[in-house]
Amino acid sequence: MLELQPSTLNSSQHTFLIKQEAQRLQFDFCGISKAVPLNDDARRLESWLNKGFHGKMKYMEQHFDLRTDPTKLVPGAKSVISLLYNYYQNQSSLDKTKPKIAKYAFGDDYRIIKEKLYELLHTIENRIGNVTARVFVDSGPVLERTWAAKSGLGWVGKNGNLINKQHGSFYFLAEIILDVELDYDAPIKNYCGTCTRCIDACPTDAISERNVIDGSKCISYFTIELREEIPLEMKGKFEGWMFGCDICQDVCPWNRFARQHEESKFLPSDLLTAMKKEDWEELTEEIYERLFKNSPLKRAKFEGIRRNLLFLKDD
């Protein structure tokens, strides 16, 4: 840790301090971009919404100006700190006869990341001085992948995920928006090339050739976001996915570089790994509460999980 007093630090030293602290907190990557209005992304987002690709996710229509202008979220914002936190599980702990759960949801939810963000912000306040800032991790009206790409942490692939050249796409994204000028990282090029593996593998045709994701066709949308009955025309297309979907990430060539995470709280519990196919078919609300006490699966609620399990039955 630098021993300089806050009054003696310049923007380069501020930047070094932040990245050093992010590494200490076990974030895998940290990049910083200038807080500016995202005019091009605003146009793309507006077109995406107008085409109805958000389905029933009405919250995507809200706070449009906040999503595309960080100074509306943090008055006087000058920098966006983007961070990646690995959740890759190098082998499934759920056997093939069980319903599939996206890797990010095997263990506890990502509140641990928010705790780390606040610890990073606390260091910034202690070492740099009084700042105006907000932290975000999968919450708030923030275009996370855009900011991560602008800060050089990767590129947005054809599957809509942020892909890091070193270790793929199995990362939680997090941000701190603050009113401190820092040294900014440059974006990198898109390395998807002519590869279409994610497009070809998607069983619901949610990924178009134009690199646009129709969220209303995505398995994750149906199993997490949708509160109604799943359309019957999707029957037989989920390939066993009960919560979320990793197909487009699993087939991505860049994820051959993914590494096993080192966060014990992201590992599946013994109770979850012990579940048999018949246990899932007989799932009760009491067992659900025990299985997913601190899990992202709480987002779908018991009724949603039961609906998903019934939809997969006999597939």
- Which active-site residues does the annotation give? 138
> Coil, strand, or helix at residue 101?
strand
For 308, the 3-state DSSP assignment is helix
What b-and-e string marks burial along 27-52, b requiring 16 or more CB atoms within 10 Å of the CB? bbbbbbbebeebeebbeebeebeeee
**Residue whose token pair is 């005019």:** 39
223 within 8 A of 245, measured Cβ to Cβ: yes
Only one residue has tokens 């091009």, namely 40
Residue 176, H or E segment: strand 171-178
| Residue 129: other Cβ atoms inside 10 A | 12
Could you identify the residue written with the tokens 């037989």? 236
d(CA 275, CA 304): 18
Q: Taking a C-beta distance cutoff of 8 angstroms, is the pair 124, 18 a contact? A: yes
Interatomic CA distance for residues 169 and 254, integer angstroms: 8
Would you give the DSSP letter of residue 52?
T
